[in-house]
Structure formats: C-alpha cells, structure tokens
Structure 1
Amino acid sequence: MYIPPAFREDDQAILHRLMRDTRLCTLVTATAAGPIGTPLPLFFDPDEGEHGTLYGHLARANPQWRAEPIGDAMAIFMGADAYVSPSWYAAKQEHHKVVPTWNYEAVHAYGPVEFFEDSQRLLEAVTRITELHEGTMTTPWQVGDAPPAFIQAQLRGIVGVRLSVSRLEGKRKLSQNRPAADRAGVARALAESPDPGDRRIAALIPLDPA
C-alpha cells in the first residue's frame, strides 16, 4: 500500500481497533491462476503470535482455499471513508488551486495463510466469531442454540481460515497534509452530512486547538 509519511499509522493499538471495528474485510491470495479475493468477516486475536492471528471461514465450494497460495496472503480492512470536495477548502477562495480527494482509514495485514477442515477447530472459529458479533445483541444467539447434528452438518460445508500476521500496514488519510483552515472546512462540511461514514471521518480529522 502506498503510504505518504503524513498518512502513515504505526500505532498498534489504533491498527488493532480498526481491524476489530471492520465488520467485513477482503482476504486476497496470489495463485498461479492469478489473485483471488473473498469478502469475509474475520476474528482478530492479538495475543496469538508476534503480531496477532486472524481466523474465519469460507464456503467449501469457494475455489480460493484449493488454490495453492504464492507467498503471503493479505487481509484488507477498510474503515470509514468520505469524498472531499475542493469547495470545502478555504484555499479555494484564495487561489482555486485545489482538487477533489478521498479521506479514509485502511489496514493491510500480511502473513502466511492456512486453510483447515478439522471440525473441532472449525467449531472454535465459528463460535468465536459468532460471540464477537452477537455480543451487542439484546438476546445473543449462541452456536449451542442449534442442534449439534445441524451444526456439524453446517461445518461440513465450510473451510477454516487462519492467517498468522507477520506485518501490518496502516493508513489514515484525514486531510493531515492540508492547512488548518482547509482541515476545518472539510471537518465542518462532513459533520453536516447525512451519511454516517462522512460524520465518522469528520470526527477524526485533526484540528488545531483554538
């Protein structure tokens, strides 16, 4: 990922938060037939391995797990994003030398990927990711709520994914390269947007203290 110095994010706590907050990421593997990508919810365990480990599953019918990966896999986590209009810059009124851009947060996790079929490991992975997403529900659904035979049948239709993270790249493009007046204009315009993603970006833009 191309990351200009102004947008580089190396704080591991922030990167881990972005990974946890991203409900759906994209798992990409390079193969002899070309790259393959699958949108997946992945569970991040920061305590397993030096840089953490990702777990998930994909459909057994998905050809990605059967294609031998070449080198490391990559999991792409996209956070909030927003279009930035040049009309929001104070600089537009001064010299008009401004153009549109896009603000966003992204994390790329790299590492060797393993696809596994063991039913016990699959059950553990499915249980952990279910607990992650059901945890905020008023009445959380649990894997144990379904009949064991039914769950075992469902497990036969999926394959587990384990990516041992060897490297993380983080980018937070939040108008840091613009003057304070331009950043304030962008933050103000996005904060007034009806789009929740725009408002999330607005709250992240660094503003000079008054």
Structure 2
Amino acid sequence: MLYQPPAFREERPEVLRGLIRSARLAMLVSNGPDGVPDVTHLPLLLVEDGAGAFIIGHFARGNPHWRRLAEAGCAVAVFPGVEAYVSPNWYASKAEHGKVVPTWNYEAVHAEGPVEIVEDAERLHDFVSRLTEAHEAAQPRPWSVGDAPAPFVAGQLRGIVGVSLRVERLAGKRKLSQNRTPADRDGAIAGLGASADARDQDAASAMRAVAEGD
C-alpha cells in the first residue's frame, strides 16, 4: 500500500489519470508464491470504456510472472512521475537555524485491482496496437502494427501474453515540498531549475505548479 501523508496525498481523478498517461515505463507487482513479490517492468496503458477503467499490457511468454499472476488474482501497477534529490543548501531556513536535512521529491500513482490473463490473438493484437499508437503518436511518421507483415505479427503475438487489470483503487502521492515554508520551497524550485539535468527541471516545474495551486 502506498504511504500517503495528508500533505502529499493526491486524490483528483483527472490528475491521477494524467500521471498514469504521462508515465513511460511502469511496474506490475503481485504476490509471489514464496513471500517475495513478483515485479515486472513494462509499458502499461490506461483504457476506459463503459465497463470501467483498465490497465493493459503484455508479458513475454517466457516470463513466469504471468502464470503466478494468474494464481495471485490481483496486482498493483506502479506509475512513476517526476523525481529529484532536494539539497538542504537550497532552503532559506538553513541560514536561519541549520535544522534541515536532504529529501527526495517525487510523484507516483498505484492502480490496484483484479487481473485477467489474455491469450486470445485478437485481443492481444488490440493491446499491442493500442500501446503502439500511444507511444508512436509523437513520431513524425508513426509506425503501426499494420506496417509489419501479418504472418510476422501473428508469430510475434504467440510469444507474448496479455494482462488486463481492472482499476478498483487509485492511490496517488505528489511529494513536492508542500510541507516546507514558501521560502524553502522557492529555494528548492530555484535549485532544481538551475540544474543541467532535465529530470531536475521537470521536478521544479511540477513543484511550481503545485505551489501555484495547479
């Protein structure tokens, strides 16, 4: 279960869905048979229709996780957002009393629910097509599954197994210095914004948006 202190809890459905859609590589986690969780890193896609909200993706057929997932019956999909180290040197309060320590700011969404293993070729083709369309959308000339020969695609589909997680609970956390004074928060935003690392700059932008009441 995601630890959500009140200052960092995010419950707005549109924000949670936005974070899921902006995530690139997610994690699917389920209970393993030996007491250690099974974890697979893979792209996942949020789809919504009249039946509800679902997270879809696919495993390599050789990955034993999907068989154990079928036995577990439920899973958690973890979607990361921005993340960055925050140095206490950036806090205004450091000069005032020195009682400051480093921290890490980040965003994350957990989608929990029952799972279905999908081996039907038609549904697998749909899953792969949806994922491809989502990730090719930014390309100047998007590639589609239909660009590859049908027999080749059919062979590739035999090497994967689909998964569909029905979303029963979304839990979101945006730890972006909401618990700091405005001066400390502004200092952290400035420090991250001045970084040459694009990940730090993205975190600064997210912190700024939260400070402005996004």
Q: Which moved more, 1:27-36 or 1:181-190?
A: 27-36
2:61 counterpart residue number: 60
Contact preservation (8 Å) 1:117, 1:159: yes
The equivalent position to 2:139 in structure 1, one of 137, 140, 150, is 137
Equivalent residues in 2 for 1:99-178 (5 A)? 99-178=101-180
2:41 counterpart residue number: 39
User: Any idea what SS the aligned residue of 1:20 has?
Assistant: helix
Runs (4+) of structure 1 exceeding 4 A deviation are none
Distance change in 2, residues 1:101/1:49 (3 Å) = farther
Q: CA offset at residue 191 of structure 1?
A: 0.5
1:198 counterpart residue number: 200
Contact preservation (8 Å) 1:36, 1:64: yes
Verify: 1:13 aligned to 2:7, yes or no: no
Contact preservation (8 Å) 2:56, 2:164: yes
User: Any idea what SS the aligned residue of 1:76 has?
Assistant: strand
Q: CA offset at residue 127 of structure 1?
A: 0.4
1:96 counterpart residue number: 98
Q: CA RMSD in A?
A: 1.4
Q: Per-residue CA shift, 1:19-44, capped at 9, x if unaligned?
A: 00001100011132331000010110
User: Any idea what SS the aligned residue of 1:46 has?
Assistant: strand
Q: Per-residue CA shift, 1:14-69, capped at 9, x if unaligned?
A: 1001000001100011132331000010110133544x101110100000011144
Distance change in 2, residues 1:139/1:81 (3 Å) = same
Q: Per-residue CA shift, 1:120-147, capped at 9, x if unaligned?
A: 0000000010011111100111111111
Unaligned runs of 5+ in 2: none
Contact preservation (8 Å) 2:82, 2:206: no
User: Any idea what SS the aligned residue of 1:178 has?
Assistant: coil
Q: Which moved more, 1:198-207 or 1:123-132?
A: 198-207
Contact preservation (8 Å) 1:180, 1:208: no
For these two proteins, the number of residue pairs brought into alignment is 208
User: Any idea what SS the aligned residue of 2:141 has?
Assistant: coil
Q: CA offset at residue 208 of structure 1?
A: 6.5
CA–CA separation in structure 1 for the residues paired with 2:50 and 2:203: 31
User: Any idea what SS the aligned residue of 1:123 has?
Assistant: helix
TM value normalised by structure 1: 0.95
Verify: 1:73 aligned to 2:75, yes or no: yes
Q: CA offset at residue 72 of structure 1?
A: 2.4
CA–CA separation in structure 2 for the residues paired with 1:36 and 1:202: 33
1:22 counterpart residue number: 23
User: Any idea what SS the aligned residue of 1:23 has?
Assistant: coil
TM value normalised by structure 2: 0.93
Unaligned runs of 5+ in 1: none
